[in-house]
Amino acid sequence: MRIAGLQKLTLLDYPGITACTVFTAGCNFRCPFCQNGSLVRPGEAEEACTGDELLAFLKKRAGLLDGVCFSGGEPLLQPDLAEWMARAKALGYRVKLDTNGSFPGRLRALVERGLVDYVAMDVKNSPEKYAETAGLRLLDLAAVRESAAYLLSRPVEYEFRTTVVREFHEREDFLAISRWIRGAERYFLQGFVDSGDLLRSGLHACTPEEMRGFLAAAREGIPAAQLRGIE
């Protein structure tokens, strides 16, 4: 597994769980607003630690931390992700996966093996604007739709989330999303933050008032929708 970052303590990444976050290198999307741009640019992601170092850390923190989040990048690109999840589970950790939803078969396999306790899947935008928002010229949305449908069947705890960027999102997009993932148990609209490590400059967050308007639109089909990180 290509480990491009390790956050040794997070109280935010895994809801209700004290966890660490392992950031994997590489992604098949090129979202302009990605906060971890250096993780997805080919050849730019540096190794933050070795597998042996990660395993030693997890053994040392077992019983002190409750969870491990695998994020990225896109973790499902890692061929040995299942092995690392199994190691974390064997040490008593709960495991969370962050994914863009483009590998439904791999997602399903991990869940069915009992290796994942919680999945957070990004919903980038309305279907009509998905490719542009993902930074791609073309995108077959079938795989993303399959992953979303699978999570909606509730095989595991999950959430959907959208990072809201003024240049990419408007009210009609959240109406479309609310029809797409209607009835989702958890859906969060989170404000864009310029991390300084973006794939494109000149992007902006929406105001709290705008975010509340988008939330109202999302709640037409997803009554449980919430804002995250917005006062």
pLDDT number for residue 47: 79
For residue 42, pLDDT beyond 80: no
Domain that holds residue 195: 3-228
Number of structural domains found in the chain: 1
**Residue 127 in contact with residue 141, Cβ under 8 Å?**
yes
CATH, residue 109 = 3.20.20.70
Average pLDDT of span 152-160: 98
Secondary structure (H, E, C), the chain: CCEEEEEEEECCCCCCCCEEEEEECCCCCCCCCCCCHHHHCCCCCCCCCCHHHHHHHHHHHECCECEEEEECCCHHHCCCHHHHHHHHHHCCCEEEEEECCCCHHHHHHHHHCCCCCEEEEECCCCHHHHHHHCCCCCCCCHHHHHHHHHHHCCCCEEEEEEEECCCCCCHHHHHHHHHHCCCCCCEEEEECCCCCCCCCCCCCCCCHHHHHHHHHHHCCCCCCCEEECCC
pLDDT number for residue 89: 98
The whole-angstrom separation of Cα 6 and Cα 67 is 13
The whole-angstrom separation of Cα 229 and Cα 189 is 9
- For residue range 54-111, list pLDDT tens digits in order: 999 999 999 999 999 999 889 999 999 999 999 999 999 999 999 999 999 999 999 9
Residue that the structure tokens 């479309």 belong to: 176
pTM, two decimal places: 0.95
118-122 and 157-164 as β-strands: parallel, antiparallel, unpaired?
A: parallel
For residue 230, pLDDT beyond 90: no
The whole-angstrom separation of Cα 163 and Cα 193 is 9
Q: Which two tokens stand for residue 112?
A: 């069915």
The whole-angstrom separation of Cα 146 and Cα 142 is 6
Task: Give me the chain's average pLDDT, please.
Answer: 94
